């Protein structure tokens, strides 16, 4: 048995969808353990494109069980819409292949509105959220006033829980001059969809224990990237959950000894969507070229991503924080046309050399990258499937990257196509 956690080693958008799809074909169980419908994976299978937001990637594969863990926040209406969208493309979604943790917390309409109100009021100090209510929902979870999946079973219990959460939210809304939410109307809307959500509801921790006893291969699927982790990311420009690999255990209800291998998806350059520090950002023609060649637009929001050189200091740091055993290097072919390629190997902070990203956002904004420059290969690597077929300069760049981040490269993606991958090490077969 081998259980694998897949996480993004940068700010997200590293190309996890393709890698997770390849791994999910080998897995028996695919589990989402954090985040919400603010993160997306794009999969292309037999010419059909699937854009997943809440559903685990295993849902598009036959004979796989997909699980939404307790660490995920769920917009129940968005989930039902996504299920119908996937079904319309010929994919079966029922209680045999989808489980939802009864302990997962719900995103409700007032969460979405609060997200929008805060972002609009922030002006130039926006965090850059997706405005889908993720942050406010996690706040209610921590504040112990959230509505959970299990609360939909009892009208009496739901009434009490809504009373508690609306007491909090309506007080804030009144202070902001916003219309208050009517409890009875919201309760009616929730009870209407409750049967469709509850039929998938199970004690996920119990089922995972069964899967482990049955020697099933489990793939834990992370959303976003480690640099958006609420504790270890570029705070406050982060998401509202822990995106590190260790949260796969907390966000599903299994022990850390359930994790056998951590795979970090790592882009051959760096991108970021939304606001926040970005030491290697390129606001020039090269940055535009990377964005155009890499089709750098968000799956969920279609927002344009900021682009820059590969930041080895950051990736080395996230590897240590998340216990990454190997990286899947993606989008190598995007660099094909460049005369030279740079890698950040150190920072300059007020004249002092720094080998890690400081925790202070003020310092993160001030630091200047120190680069090592590599000659480009100026030839296409698109579709290459063997390491020996890569240009020498491309191999030299990969070997230098591997050496600097102190972690092996387990695979290299040379196009968005699933089969265009150089496989060096299969995590399920180690």
Catalytic annotation, residues: 13, 41
Radius of gyration of the chain (CA): 22
Provide CB contacts within 8 A for 331, sequence distance 6+. Answer: 15, 267, 268, 269, 294, 413
E strand or H helix that includes residue 101 = strand 98-101
Phi, psi for 420 (deg, rounded to 5): -85, 70
Which two structure tokens, joined as six digits, stand for 177? 């001059």
E strand or H helix that includes residue 289 = helix 285-293
**The pairing of beta strand 65-68 with beta strand 421-423:** unpaired
Q: Give the residue ranges of DSSP H helices in 123-182.
A: 134-142, 155-175
Which two structure tokens, joined as six digits, stand for 367? 């630091």
Nearest residue to 266 via CA among 303, 227, 236: 227
Examine residue 317 and say whether the peptide bond preceding it is cis (omega within 30 degrees of 0): no
Q: To which residue do tokens 């989930």 refer? A: 79
Which two structure tokens, joined as six digits, stand for 52? 């997943």
């Amino acid at each position: 048995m081998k259980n694998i956690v897949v996480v993004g080693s940068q700010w997200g958008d590293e190309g996890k969808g393709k890698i997770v799809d390849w791994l999910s074909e080998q897995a028996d169980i695919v589990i989402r353990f954090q985040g919400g419908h603010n993160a997306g994976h794009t999969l292309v299978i037999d010419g059909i494109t699937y854009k997943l937001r809440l559903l685990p990637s295993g849902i598009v594969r036959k004979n796989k069980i997909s699980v939404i863990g307790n660490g995920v926040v769920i917009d129940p209406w968005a989930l039902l819409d996504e299920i119908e969208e996937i079904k319309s493309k010929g994919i079966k979604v029922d209680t045999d292949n989808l489980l939802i943790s009864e302990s997962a917390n719900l995103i409700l309409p007032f969460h979405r509105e609060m997200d929008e109100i805060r972002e609009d009021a922030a002006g130039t100090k926006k965090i850059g959220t997706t405005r889908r209510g993720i942050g406010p929902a996690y706040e209610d979870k921590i504040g112990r006033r959230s509505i959970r999946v299990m609360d939909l079973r009892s009208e009496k219990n739901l009434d009490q829980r809504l009373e508690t959460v609306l007491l909090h939210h309506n007080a804030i809304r009144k202070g902001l001059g916003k219309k208050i939410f009517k409890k009875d109307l919201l309760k009616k809307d929730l009870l209407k969809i409750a049967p469709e959500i509850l039929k998938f509801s199970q004690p996920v921790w119990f089922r995972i224990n069964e899967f482990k006893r049955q020697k099933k291969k489990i793939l834990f699927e992370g959303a976003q990237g480690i640099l958006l982790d609420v504790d270890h990311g570029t705070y406050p420009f982060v998401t509202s959950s822990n995106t590190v690999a260790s949260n796969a255990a907390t966000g599903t209800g299994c022990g850390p000894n359930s994790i056998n291998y951590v795979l970090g998806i790592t882009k051959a350059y760096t991108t970021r969507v939304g606001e926040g520090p970005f030491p290697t950002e390129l606001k020039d023609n090269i940055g535009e070229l990377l964005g155009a060649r890499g089709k750098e637009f968000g799956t969920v929001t279609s927002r344009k991503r900021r682009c820059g050189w590969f930041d080895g200091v950051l990736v080395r740091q996230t590897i240590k924080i998340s216990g990454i055993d190997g990286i899947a290097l993606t989008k190598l072919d995007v660099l094909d046309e460049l005369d030279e390629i740079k890698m950040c190997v150190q920072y300059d902070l007020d004249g002092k050399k720094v080998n890690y990203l400081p925790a202070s956002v003020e310092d993160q904004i001030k630091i200047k990258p120190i680069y090592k420059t590599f000659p480009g290969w100026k030839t296409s690597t698109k579709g290459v499937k063997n390491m020996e077929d890569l240009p020498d300069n491309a191999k030299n760049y990969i070997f230098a990257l591997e050496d600097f981040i102190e972690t092996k490269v387990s695979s290299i993606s040379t196009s968005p196509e699933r089969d265009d991958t150089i496989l060096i090490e299969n995590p399920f077969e180690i």
